[in-house]
Amino acid sequence: MAGSGHLKLLRPAAFYMFAPLRPAGGRAAVKATFCTTAPPPSISRYPVPPKKDLPEDIAAVMEEVETKGGFLPNVFKALSHRPAEFRTFFAYYNELMNKETGGLTKADRELIVVATSMHNQCLYCVVSHSALHRIYSKKPTLADQVAVNYQNAELSPRELAMLDFALAVCRSDTITDQHFLSLEEVGFDREDAWDIGAIAAFFALSNRMAHITDMRPNVEFYTLGRVARPKGDGGSK
Q: What is the pLDDT of residues 76-123, one digit of tens each?
A: 999 999 999 999 999 999 999 999 899 999 999 999 999 999 999 999
pTM score, whole prediction: 0.82
Higher local confidence (pLDDT), 172 or 232: 172
Whether the CB-CB separation of 72 and 34 falls below 8 Å is answered with yes
Banded pLDDT at 136 (limits 50, 70, 90): very high
Q: Residue type for 108, please? A: D
Whether the CB-CB separation of 200 and 170 falls below 8 Å is answered with yes
* C-alpha angle 120-58-26 in degrees, rounded to nearest 5: 80
Q: What is the pLDDT of residues 50-73, one digit of tens each?
A: 989 999 999 999 999 999 989 999
For residues 36 and 52, what is the distance between their CA atoms, to the nearest angstrom?
A: 10
Whether the CB-CB separation of 146 and 111 falls below 8 Å is answered with yes
Q: What is the CA radius of gyration of the chain?
A: 18
Whether the CB-CB separation of 110 and 198 falls below 8 Å is answered with no
For residues 91 and 125, what is the distance between their CA atoms, to the nearest angstrom?
A: 18
| Nearest by Cα to 183 from 163, 201, 161 | 161
For residues 4 and 138, what is the distance between their CA atoms, to the nearest angstrom?
A: 37
Whether the CB-CB separation of 4 and 210 falls below 8 Å is answered with no
